[in-house]
Homo-oligomer: A and B are copies of this chain.
Amino acid sequence: MQLLEERIRRDGIVKDGDVLKVDSFLNHQMDIQLFEELAREFERLYHGCGVNKILTIEASGIGVASITAQVFGCPLVFAKKSKTRNIVGNVYSSKVHSFTHDQDYNIIVYQNFLGPEDRLLLIDDFLANGEALTGLVDLAAQAGATVVGAGICIEKAFQPGGDKLRSQGLRIESLARIKSMSVENGIEFC
Residues of A participating in the B interface, judged by any CB pair closer than 8 Å = 23-25, 28-33, 35-36, 58-59, 62-63, 66-67, 69-70, 73-78, 80, 109-110, 112-113
Contacts and interface: CB of A to CB of B under 8 A. Distances in A.
A110 B77 CA distance: 27
A29 B66 contact: no
Given A31-B75, A33-B70, 11 more contacts: A24-B112, A28-B77, A28-B113, A29-B76, A29-B113, A30-B75, A30-B77, A58-B62, A62-B62, A66-B67, A70-B70
A113 B23 CA distance: 9
Nearest to A81: B59
A39 B161 CA distance: 36
Contacts of A73: 33
B30 A69 contact: yes
Most interface-central of A24, A63, A109 (chain B CB within 10 A): A63
Nearest to A69: B32
Contact of A78 (B30, B31, B80, B112): B30
